Structure 1
Amino acid sequence: MDLQEGALMLLGPTMNAKVAFELSERLPHLPLRMQEHSRRAAEYASRMRRLGLRVAYPGLPDHPHHARLLAIANPGYGAGGMLCVDMGTEDRANRLMHHLQNTTRFGLMAVSLGYYETLMSCSGSSTSSEMPPEDRARAGISPGLVRMSVGYNGTLEQRWAQFERALSLMQQQHPDRDAAAKYCKV
């Protein structure tokens, strides 16, 4: 074992006992959490699409990789809890996330995505910000792309009402240039 390089140096020879215990306590209900995570993401993606928002979610039938997902996915677990909504510009994305976090308490802004709360980030100005603009464009990462890890706390209807309220508040700030029909249509 080389203690100076590789995984052993980074992780140590054994897992922290407290972390190992906490993981073992959560593993039995992981399937239930993942099913709810996926169910809510699919429902939000469908509802966002009906509002006219540009949504990327592999569980939607028109997603370019939907058939591939169906071929490899574990039956009963859906398409996962990650979705993207493209607000067009970084300013619009940030205003929406501001209202989602600070006004309606729908979720939290974070670059690490995976928690029982909904977490979100504007990828173009956070996790993908070091990519050259042409690479981001080729990867489909627009300046206004909001990536969400959909949480599973609260009821789906309660959280959806918070999302709709945040979207409405965002549009009220600049009604002349931010009507959903003007910038969010698919």
Structure 2
Amino acid sequence: MSDHCNKTGFATRAVHAGAAPDPATGARTTPIYLTNGFVFDDPEEAADIFALRKIGFSYSRGSNPTTAALERRVTDLEGGTMSVAIGSGQAALLVILLTLMESGDEYVAASRLFGGSLGLMRRLEQRHGLKVHFADPTDPASVAAAVTEKTKAIVVESIVNPCGSVVDLQAISAIARRHKVPLIVDNTLASPYLIRPFEHGADIVFHSTSKFLGGHGQVIGGIITDGGSFDWAGDARYPLISAPWGDYEGIVLAEAFPKNAFAVAARLYGLRDLGPGISPATAFLTLTGIETLPLRMARHCANAKAVAQHLAGHPAVAAVSYPSIEGHPGKALADRYSPEGAGSVFTVALKGGDQAATRFIAALKLFSHIANIGETRSLAIHPATTTHRNMPPQERAKAGVAGNVVRLSIGLEDAADIIADLDQALAAAS
């Protein structure tokens, strides 16, 4: 595992990074600071914090000691320079796009994404004029062909939701570099344990912490991490980062914060102005979840591989999308980027068609019928009628979520019990 920020290993940093015993009480676990505001020492300190001349806490919507510990930990694990914790993964994507773009701007996005991301992008185009050009993330040539002179960013997932394909980040990063635009990577399905996109040329990474980082299906949250790699200085295409802020005494973030200018802009505009803050209690539960991330991800991947391999040989199954199993066309790429396994989310296409898929989900007993992924328990959903229902049928087919497809999120139960439940549900669906 990578040790970007110090000499200790990933598992050690998952437990310790960004946190320390509370100096006031000695509490070893990071306290939950349930306060909306913070007392200033004097009027000068208050003015300095609000003018960005001094780092400090003022109002929990923008930052909070519990939230800051989560931000430091994810920054460390991803190998970035600064993170911004936020109310949800959807809010994270929204803030990233709005920090970079204005009405009339364009960007390229993967056509295979989390259904909520696709829906948000279409709504932003319809209502706010942020034009998106969709491209196949598994084909770098498709991404390159979608870039225009007006492109201001490229957005992909490291591991594609829901099919589990691993994306060639280095190839797409090379395209972004040629056109001098930032590469934004949703790393939710991989987590930094499996893939660290900054090592492969990403500039901005975000997560829905509701999934693997939190891991227990308890809370909704998101986080944005700045890689500190993109040169924003003097780039007029990104005025929130490269131009003066009149309401902050003319500060230019790219000059004042050269290593984390994007993160500062996302905090100022995203949290102070737009307001989708994260609860300190949510930050605390996510911090606790991250402590076991290496253990959980190893188990998730081992179970997913065993389950996918079994289903690939089942007579009722037409196809399994998990790329880490033998014979899958994406295995070489998955082994290159995520040698410990391509996460635990993938799709299964049933030979019996749409009705077989819905009967299959109804017959599951151990699996929970839930729209979330990345929990300790195994989950299943029918994307065509839920998470991807607003997509035209032809686009759903291209995205690998036709009517006969079920998305599985493999949990931490015993693999034999997971397989037994799937087998009995397949039998009932036939």
- Deviation track 1:33-78 (CA, whole Å, cap 9, x = no partner) reads 01111111110010011213221111123323221111111x4x31
> Contact conserved, 1:90 with 1:122, CA < 8 A, in 2?
no
Residues of 2 paired with 1:16 and 1:23: CA distance? 11
Within 2, Cα distance between the matches of 1:108 and 1:16? 27
Is the Cα–Cα contact under 8 Å of residues 84 and 146 in structure 1 kept in the other structure? yes
Distance 2:342 2:424 in 1: 26
Does residue 59 of structure 1 match 2:318?
no
| TM-score, structure 1 as length reference | 0.78
1:110-165 per-position Cα deviation (integer Å, ceiling 9, x unaligned): 22222111111111111111111121222232211001111113x22122222212
Q: 1: CA distance between counterparts of 2:301 and 2:394? A: 31
Give the structure 2 partner of residue 45 of structure 1: 308
Gapped runs of 5+ residues in structure 2?
1-49, 51-61, 63-97, 99-268
Q: What are the within-5 Å matches in structure 2 for residues 135-174 of structure 1?
A: 135-153=395-413, 155-171=414-430
Match of 1:99 among 363, 372, 381: 363
Aligned AA (1:80)? G
Distance 1:157 1:126, change over 3 A: same
CA distance in 1, matches of 2:429, 2:330: 31
Aligned residues: 160
In our comparison, the structure showing a higher alpha carbon Rg is 2
Q: Which amino acid aligns with 1:47?
A: H
Give the Cα separation in 2 of the matches to 1:158 and 1:112.
21
% identity of equivalent residues: 27
2-structure distance, mates of 1:18, 1:41: 31
| SS of aligned partner of 1:11 | coil
Tell me, in whole angstroms, the C-alpha distance in 1 between the residues paired with 2:350 and 2:324: 20
Q: Paired residue for 1:21? A: 284
Task: Encode CA deviations 1:63-119: one digit per residue, 9 max, x unaligned.
Answer: 23221111111x4x312101211124221111000001xxxx221112222211111
Which consecutive residues of structure 1, in runs of 5 or more, have no partner in the other structure?
172-186
Greater RCO, 1 or 2 (C-alpha within 8 Å, sep 6+): 1
Q: Does the C-alpha gap of structure 1 residues 158 and 140 become closer, same or farther in structure 2, counting only changes over 3 Å?
A: closer
TM-score by length of 2: 0.35
RMSD value, Cα: 2.0
Deviations, residues 5-33 of structure 1 (Å, cap 9, x unaligned): 85313422xx4222222122222211110
Alignment of 1:58-97 (within 5 A): 58-73=323-338, 75=339, 77-88=340-351, 89-97=353-361
Residue aligned with 2:420, SS: helix
C-alpha change, 1:7 and 1:61, in structure 2 (3 Å) is farther
Q: Helix, strand or coil for the counterpart of 2:285?
A: helix
Q: Distance in 2 between matches of 1:106 and 1:33?
A: 19
Determine if contact 1:58/1:65 at 8 Å carries over to the other structure. Answer: yes
| Structure 1 residue ranges, 4+ long, deviating more than 6 angstroms after superposition | none
CA–CA distance in 1 between the matches of 2:301 and 2:429?
26
Q: Is the 8 A contact 1:116 1:151 kept in 2?
A: yes
Partner of 2:270: 7
Indicate yes or no: 2:379 matched with 1:128. Answer: no
